[in-house]
Structure formats: C-alpha cells, structure tokens
Chain A
C-alpha cells in the first residue's frame, strides 16, 4: 500500500513530452527535487522490494540451513494446502467479518466525531476534547489489552462488575467468550484510533471555505442543511482517499491486538490470517507455509485497493491513482 503512495512522484518524471532534450532539461531543472526523492526511493528499494526476494520460499520447502538455492521447489503445494485445508474458511470468515465490522463501525467514527467537534462553538472545549480523545493512540496494544483484562475480567473486572450489578443475571466472562471477542476488538479499536484519525478530518474541515457557509445561511440553510450540503461535500475527497487506503488494509488485522486477546475459548472467532502466520511461521517454524499465507493475503490486499480505486472513479470521485 505504501508503495502506491510513492508512485505519483515517479510518474511525474514521465509527464513531460518524450523529447530526450526536454526530459534531460526537466531532470536538471528539478534536480534538487529528484535528489530529495533518492532517500525515499532507497527506503522502498531496501525495505520493501529487496525483501520480496524472500517470497520465493512460498514455493519451496524452505529449510534455512539449505538456503534459497538448496531448498526443494514444490510449486503451489503450500497454496493448495492452504486453500483445501480446514483452516482456510475459518480464517477467511473471521478476517472478513472483522473487516466488515471495521468498515461499518470504525471507519465512520472519526468522521462523525470530527463533524461534532466542528460544530462546537467554544474553542477551549473543542481543543481539550480533541486532545483527550487522541491520547489512547499513544498507548501500545499491550497496555490496551491489559486494561481490557483488568476492566472485564470475570474475577476482578471493575466494569464487568458494574454491568453485572445493573443488569443482574449470571456473570459473563467477556474476555473468554467467542461471541464477545469481536465487540471487544471493535471497542478497543474505536477507543484507540478514533481520536487520532479525527485529526485528518478536522484538517480537511479547517480548509472548507467559510464563504460557502455564509452563502448557505443567506439562503436559509439551518445547521443540518449546512452540514449536508457544504461540509460533507467539502471533505468528500478526504473520505474517499481514506476509504481506499483502508481497503488495502482490510485483511491486515492488527496482529498484536488480536494475539493478546486470544485464548482457548475464543480462538474459533479470534484466529485471523495474521495470527495464523505468526503461529505457523514463528512458533511452528513452518516458514514456507507461513510465507504462502502471507503472500496470499498481500495479493488480496493489492486487488482490494485496485478494486476500490476503480470503484471510486466509477462513482465519479477522484481515485488515489
């Protein structure tokens, strides 16, 4: 995904007409810009493209001691194993389900919060709320997971205790029930990421031409009408870009978060591709199989990003590329 972000400047080099003299002159004229591009390119080359060499082990029975050249080639064996194995459907279902919940709940949350903050009149309230809600962004998932356990443990959880007192009934072990796994993950994600993402939308909102609001008011538009006809259209490009970027990440669940919240009871709903790759690759040492799973996920991610970009353009929006 990040590589796609980098592509526009590269394309810019091709933009002038294909006359050798002109291209060279353009290159010379913008030499400092190109020079500044080098570290970025080097970064992608070294950390994103060179490691792709390792992807070949997805098609081998890789044994580190034998190396890339010594390991046996097995073609698509690992992919066949993955697609026909008993884990695939469960992993796909769990991953897509969480992705769907992310789209429905996590994606709109910062937009709504940003719009609400934007309507606030008193600046000091607006700023302090803004600061308060993005603090969780700076906490690691380990801390978020520990907090969740402390708050929701069936034995000593404070929040779980309150819920139990108010609603009565039997005590629910939130952190160990498969049906509670997804709500907890989504709540954690909302709590941790909403405030931070809000910043992007607030920046977009700050750029909205104030004259438009005045004009709308002159025409008799109330607050909701202004929101609908001025604010939202103004930040629509931002929303679209964020949506496309998110689609590329759909299959990337936040590994740490899920790993930390998994236990024997909720594994049936908790296992996603990322945790599976970790378990198979690092714990079990099946490097080839894990790479095959990871490669599949990567390809699916690329397809999703192209797909949603195409869709955005079809719907008359500016795509990402």
Chain B
C-alpha cells in the first residue's frame, strides 16, 4: 500500500463521518423551512384505518374544492395524544392541528404564543363559529384557539342483551334499581340457557387513563345518582363530582353490584378495545357507554347470526335514580379543535387567507365532501338523506374508506356520529335504522335532564401543574374502594389528601374562572 492511497482513504472515511455527523445534527432542526411558500396547507389529525393516498380520488377532490394543495399527517388514533405532545416539542408543527384544547401541553404552547388566538377573528367566519356555547366549552378560559369538531351533545346510553331480558322476563330499565334487578337476573337466572351459572350482568372495562372525569360507566352512574358532571355548583360554590353525598351513594350502588358478582370479575383489567367481546360472546349482558356502540354491537352480532341480530340489542337512555328523579350525563358537544400554528402562518394576512380556506371547508358543501364523500360516486341523495351506492366497486370502496376512516376527522360542522350540516346517512338495514330513529328520540328526551359541566371552558393552572400527582389520587382510590381494598372512610381520607395536595387551590381557581365567565 502506498502512502498517498492511504491518505486518500483516510480523508474519504473522515469526510464520510463528518457528513454523517452533520446530517445527524441537523436532523433535529432542518426540514421545515421552504415548505410554507408553495401554498400547501398542512394538517394533522387522527386516522382509523390506512392513510389515504394523496393521489386518491377524495384527496384530489378536496384539493380541487378548496383550490389549495393540502398535506395531511394522518396519525393512528391510539397514539394521537402522544404524537401531539411530541409534535408540539418539535419545530414541525403543521399549519392546522387537530388538538384537545384541554391537554396541558397544548395549553402551555398556546399560552406561550405558539397558536393564534382566534377569539375575535373567528366571529367573521360564520361557518367556523358553530354553536356559541360549544365554542365556549372548547375554549381555554374563554380564549378560542380554533373551530371545534362537533359531536353529539348527549351520547350516554345503556345497551342490554334483549334476548336475555326476554328470557328472564324483565322490562327495559327506567331506574338504577331496575338496572340492578336485571344485572342480578342475568347473573343468577341463566339467561343463556346452558344450565350453568356462567354469566354476569354489567360489563365494565378498566378505567381509561388516570383523569377522574373519563365519561366512564362510573361517571355516568355518578351523574344518574345526582352528583355533578365533573364539577358543579353546590351552595353557590363549585365542587368536584366526588365531593358530594350523591357520589358516595352511587359508589355504594356500584360496590354492591361488584360484591355480589354482578359485574365481570376482570373489571379492573379488561381492555377497552375488548369491551364488546363479553356482550357478543354471551358472557355479560349490559354495557353503559356512548350510544354509537350499539352500531358496533349490531355489526358483531350480525357476523354471528345475520338473521336474529336485530333482536339481541336493546338500547335505553340515561336511568333515573331510585327516587325517580332523572339526571342525564351529557357530553361536551365537541371533540378537539382545529388550532392554527404560528410557526408557519406568521402574518395576519396569511392567517386570514387560511381561515378563509377553513371557512370554505366548513361550509355545507365542504362538510358533505369530508363526511359523505362525492355525490354520485359513493352516495346518492334520497329524501334529503345519503344512500351509499356502488360499494362493490373497489375504487368506490376505497373512496368510502377514505371518508369514514380519515377525512371525516377534518369535519367540524358534521362529523362522526353527528350529521350536522351534511346529509344524514341511511343505515343499510332495518335494525340499524330502528336504532338511529330511537336514538334521536332518546337524545331529545335525555337532553331535558342533562347535567351540564360549567367548568368545561376553564382550566385551572394548579390542575395542570400538579395533575401528574393529583389526578390518580381519587381515581385510584375509588377503584380501590369498589374492589374492596379500602373502606369508605379511607376513600374520604384520599379525597382529603387530594384537597390538601392542591385540590383546594384547584377548586378556588375553578370557582374564580367560572364566575368570571359568568356561567
């Protein structure tokens, strides 16, 4: 080997290493600039299937309608909140990001000025404002950071195995006492008729996350017994759901059911994704959840037996407490907002341009495109309702999937579970149609007794700062109480620990903020 050759080799290797080093370093920072100027609008939202092809029919149609190029980062729903937090920490925030406005990381970023405050501006865009009350709910202490994605205002319901109910000879429940009777009969009276005592009444999955207000079956039962929905006014002051006598009443009711074996034994560990399984497999007979779960149950039961599936699910609304008084658990009316990042939308002019596009997207025509699809391709309109067509054509099927599993997530005034300003979809078969019709009546009825959460628009600073420590306290204590690991006195002691650890301050802040908003 001659010396010059060696030297050349070494130089080569060194250059290569340096290049690697340089590229690795810039990997964290580069790659954002230079994209903003071609007029492409970038989005980030949830995905429930496979990501649509940007060359696909629907993507192209949306771009044509908006007159803008769009690029969407589709993130699988299960990882969404994590991905949002990681994205917020990067310098690659998309122009329009679908975010939970109440997530601490978003709140901090917004307070630091990472997103446009649209409180005043949004009023100029009629399609984006929506319902003022829901808009306020989706705000941070009154500050609006983007149009909300509409959801039904009331979704809680009870789903019951109809065939079992007939077998044990009971009526549809009206009160929590009825619910108890049914659960008991489902457990003890052999509703599946196999001669074995191998069934239970209520199916409860493991608690989702650590926040107390989780719209879980437990929260629903709290409200039915008259406790506040998350926060509520008692004697002129805001108190949390768990600091009321009704909360303990509700817990005693649930503990009784659990102690008597009327609930699935693995209610602490059952994965939420497997919630339907015991119902469909005939192990349990009652689910308390959002009403759209009925559709999932019908789908699964149909796979089992396409003839009788319609006779297996009975859905009823919120239940009255033993004394006959009824309180219903409503929802916030929205799920996430479309926040506009300041990272790339820098000037007011750019912002106005973008909002104009979003306003167009939120128009009736735009919402139909996002949530129904392309008229004449995958659906037709009959009596003002959308009927699916051409579903056997693989291209149309692809289009339909792109609507249902992806683009519908960008809908603001029409969305999953809510027709809004788009066309209502006619369900394919009779049981589904019946369910839809009943749902409308039920929701209208239950909304009359809805217990609203006045704290929805506000965020307490202490709750954000100490959330990691405070959130699990009462949540875990309640589950432990229900599992029989601690007594009611100890549960009360844990609630006191929550107050002492910062809960007192949270309550004070919520009080102040809510009265400031004049709620």
> Which residues of A come within 8 Å of B, CB atoms?
31, 35, 38-39, 42, 45-47, 50, 63-66, 85-87, 149, 153-156, 171, 173, 175-176, 178, 263-265, 267-268, 276, 279-280, 282-287, 289
Chain B, Cβ-Cβ closest to A268 = B476
B83-91, B305-313, B436-444: which lies at the A interface?
A: B83-91
Measured CB to CB, the closest approach of chain A to B494, in angstroms, equals 11
- In contact, A176 and B25 (Cβ under 8 angstroms): no
Measured CB to CB, the closest approach of chain A to B86, in angstroms, equals 7
440-481 of chain B: CB within 8 A of chain A: 464-465, 467-469, 472, 475-476, 479-480
- In contact, A263 and B269 (Cβ under 8 angstroms): yes
> Which residues of B come within 8 Å of A, CB atoms?
6, 10, 13-14, 17, 20-21, 24-25, 81-82, 85-86, 88-91, 103-106, 108-109, 111-114, 206-207, 210, 264-266, 268-270, 342-343, 464-465, 467-469, 472, 475-476, 479-480, 483, 485, 501
**A-B contact sample (5 more), CB < 8 A, given A63-B108, A264-B476, A265-B480:** A66-B112, A153-B266, A173-B266, A263-B269, A280-B468
Measured CB to CB, the closest approach of chain B to A238, in angstroms, equals 34
Measured CB to CB, the closest approach of chain B to A151, in angstroms, equals 13
Question: Which of B13, B24, B89 is the most central at the interface, judged by chain A CB atoms within 10 Å of its CB?
Answer: B89
- In contact, B265 and A154 (Cβ under 8 angstroms): yes
CB < 8 Å neighbour of B468 from A50, A66, A284: A284
- In contact, A50 and B104 (Cβ under 8 angstroms): no
A283–B472 Cα distance when bound, in Å, is 13
Decide yes or no: A286 and B103 within 8 Å by CB, A45-B21, A155-B266, A265-B483 being known contacts.
Answer: no
Measured CB to CB, the closest approach of chain B to A69, in angstroms, equals 13
CB < 8 Å neighbour of A149 from B14, B21, B269: B269
- In contact, B85 and A285 (Cβ under 8 angstroms): yes
A-B CB contact pairs (8 Å), 18 listed: A35-B13, A42-B20, A47-B24, A50-B25, A63-B108, A63-B112, A153-B269, A154-B269, A263-B207, A263-B269, A264-B268, A264-B475, A264-B479, A282-B86, A285-B85, A285-B104, A286-B465, A286-B468
Tally the A-B contacts, defined by beta carbons under 8 Å: 114
Hey, which chain A residues are within 8 Å of B264, CB to CB?
155
- In contact, A87 and B469 (Cβ under 8 angstroms): yes
Question: Which of A85, A153, A175, A285 is the most central at the interface, judged by chain B CB atoms within 10 Å of its CB?
Answer: A285
CB < 8 Å neighbour of A285 from B108, B270, B472, B483: B108
- In contact, A35 and B10 (Cβ under 8 angstroms): yes
A292–B365 Cα distance when bound, in Å, is 50
Decide yes or no: A42 and B109 within 8 Å by CB, A264-B207, A264-B480, A285-B85 being known contacts.
Answer: no
- In contact, B472 and A267 (Cβ under 8 angstroms): yes
Chain B, Cβ-Cβ closest to A57 = B89
Hey, which chain B residues are within 8 Å of A276, CB to CB?
468
- In contact, B483 and A85 (Cβ under 8 angstroms): no
A63–B88 Cα distance when bound, in Å, is 9
Decide yes or no: A65 and B480 within 8 Å by CB, A45-B21, A155-B266 being known contacts.
Answer: no
CB < 8 Å neighbour of B476 from A66, A149, A265, A282: A265
Hey, which chain A residues are within 8 Å of B476, CB to CB?
264-265, 267-268
- In contact, B20 and A283 (Cβ under 8 angstroms): no
Decide yes or no: A263 and B114 within 8 Å by CB, A155-B264, A175-B269 being known contacts.
Answer: no
- In contact, A46 and B82 (Cβ under 8 angstroms): no
Measured CB to CB, the closest approach of chain B to A196, in angstroms, equals 28
A121–B483 Cα distance when bound, in Å, is 52
- In contact, A64 and B472 (Cβ under 8 angstroms): no
- In contact, A171 and B265 (Cβ under 8 angstroms): yes
Hey, which chain A residues are within 8 Å of B343, CB to CB?
65
A266–B113 Cα distance when bound, in Å, is 39
Decide yes or no: A65 and B112 within 8 Å by CB, A265-B480, A286-B104 being known contacts.
Answer: yes
- In contact, B207 and A46 (Cβ under 8 angstroms): no
Hey, which chain B residues are within 8 Å of A176, CB to CB?
266, 268-269, 483
- In contact, A38 and B266 (Cβ under 8 angstroms): no
- In contact, A46 and B25 (Cβ under 8 angstroms): yes
A276–B468 Cα distance when bound, in Å, is 8
Measured CB to CB, the closest approach of chain A to B354, in angstroms, equals 18
A263–B482 Cα distance when bound, in Å, is 14
Hey, which chain B residues are within 8 Å of A264, CB to CB?
206-207, 210, 268, 472, 475-476, 479-480
Hey, which chain B residues are within 8 Å of A283, CB to CB?
81-82, 85
Hey, which chain B residues are within 8 Å of A285, CB to CB?
85, 88, 103-106, 108
Hey, which chain B residues are within 8 Å of A42, CB to CB?
17, 20-21
A254–B110 Cα distance when bound, in Å, is 34
